[in-house]
Amino acid sequence: MTNVGNTCYLNSALQALFHVPAFVHWLCSDNSHRSNCAGVNGSVKDVCIICAMNKTFKASRKNRDTSIKPLLIYKELQFISEDLEPGQQEDAHEFMCYLLGSMKESYLTSYKDCMLDSYSMETTPLNQIFGGYIRTEVTCSQCGSVSTTFQYCQDFILDIHDTSTLDGALAAYFSEECLDGDDAYWCEQCHRKVSATKKFSLEKPPHVLCIQIKRFDIMGEKIDKHISFSLRLDLTRFLCPRSAHHGPAPLKYRLVSMVIHDGPSIHCGHYTAVAQTSMGRYYKFDDSLVQAISSSVVLGSDAYIMMYEREPAGPSVPQKSAASTTATCAVNGQKTSSSPQAPVSHKNVSVVNHRQGCGSVSPIYTCASSPSSAKGELTSSDSMAAQHCSWDKPSLGEVSPPFRQSSSKCKRPFAHKSCCPDSDVTANDMKLLEDDSKLLKSHTGNATDVESGFSDFYWFAYIIV
């Protein structure tokens, strides 16, 4: 990609995203959005961010020997965020967050008449790809009561002051904390401040794990130290104990792309990207210059943003059975774990923040599994990206949770029969799901897509009075 004026941060962020198979598969096959977006065939100023990203990606794949100018994105910087100034050096991670946020807003525009609550807005395809949930448990040292909270997390911002490895930074991120003294915990059972322990774990792991290494201090100066990492990452030890459905299958990720910053501070320097192709080769993207590099060079890089994609589970673990019990869903303003063993009490469950936040080479994607279907009309190059994508839920173009503001008296979890055959689903429950499908059909125009949306995403719900 050509640098059109201090846009190395933009070029690097786009290259990192364009080498995430699940993201590209959704971007190229989201027929739901394209059929409802008025700007698909419009002029540059009329193109929405999702459509702009789609066209930019396709342009980057047309010719291996020609770099492109990402003007469709560059010209929309002020629309993406008022904090982004054309021609000014920006932070690559900040830009990526603004970009994904703007894409989510564009996606939800099609559902503006559905009166979605804030939790349902966390279930867009982008949330499905990059998002996960962190469970926080605070245990009172006096009475032993446990307060459980959940927080949606799209990226992991890791402190590196006291470690020199990525594993060490992750261990510190999920480490147990002691609350006492000025930080004592107010226990609602004891009705006073007491000492307590706070534990963190992964309630719902993201499909694509985005990691930002905190390389800049509060003054913007660079923390210039090498953080060792591996091309594959095992997060099994950070899973919530309730996630026993994973069984022996480990929670492993592989590095698909990353962004590197060279320079003394956040205010000056240069951004480049590194990504892997289907042949296993790594390439460095330095604006319009692209060159092959070895894995040893990759491992010796001082990464700033790292994109890890989850590896598919082994053949002995059915994907749908696991997915049907892992989702944490939110409907009508309430959040719950979908584990079928027992309903989650909402008495001490809430959502809080966790630890402050939380080309000239045509990319070809590879993974062990391929989607069973792909919606939308794909070009031959798009099909190649979709064919090797590891995302195992093809209905990414649909928002699957119920949009109904229910007056039902049902207060227990229910599930689609195909998601959890052993669940106690009554005829009334199925009627409610059919009503959801009819409501969704009015917005998507395809009843089959809606029905597959429920079975593919395995969403469970609480109907709240």
Q: Which residues are catalytic?
A: 8, 270
Query: Would you tell me how many other CB atoms lie within 10 Å of the CB of residue 239?
Result: 20
Closest CA to 150 of 357, 353, 358, 322: 353
Cβ-proximal residues to 220 (8 Å cutoff; 6+ apart), any chain: 265, 266, 267
In whole angstroms, what is the distance from residue 304 CA to residue 243 CA?
30
Cβ-proximal residues to 250 (8 Å cutoff; 6+ apart), any chain: 234, 236
- Residue whose pair of structure tokens reads 């080498």 in the numeric block: 19
Amino acid at 141: S
The DSSP string of 381-410 is HHHHHHHT-------TTS--S---------
C-alpha to C-alpha distances, 447 to 111, 253, 400, 450, nearest whole angstrom = 16, 34, 12, 5
Which tokens hold the place of 50? 């999702």
**223 — phi, psi (to 5°)?**
-95, 95
In whole angstroms, what is the distance from residue 176 CA to residue 174 CA?
7
Residues forming beta bridges with residue 335, ordered by sequence position: 330
Residues forming beta bridges with residue 461, ordered by sequence position: 414
Query: Would you tell me how many other CB atoms lie within 10 Å of the CB of residue 410?
Result: 16
Cβ atoms 290, 360 nearer than 8 A: yes
Residues 85, 86, 89, CA angle at the centre, nearest 5°?
75
Cβ-proximal residues to 32 (8 Å cutoff; 6+ apart), any chain: 110, 375, 397, 398, 444, 449
Length of the chain: 465
In whole angstroms, what is the distance from residue 431 CA to residue 416 CA?
11
Residues 134, 357, 88, CA angle at the centre, nearest 5°?
145
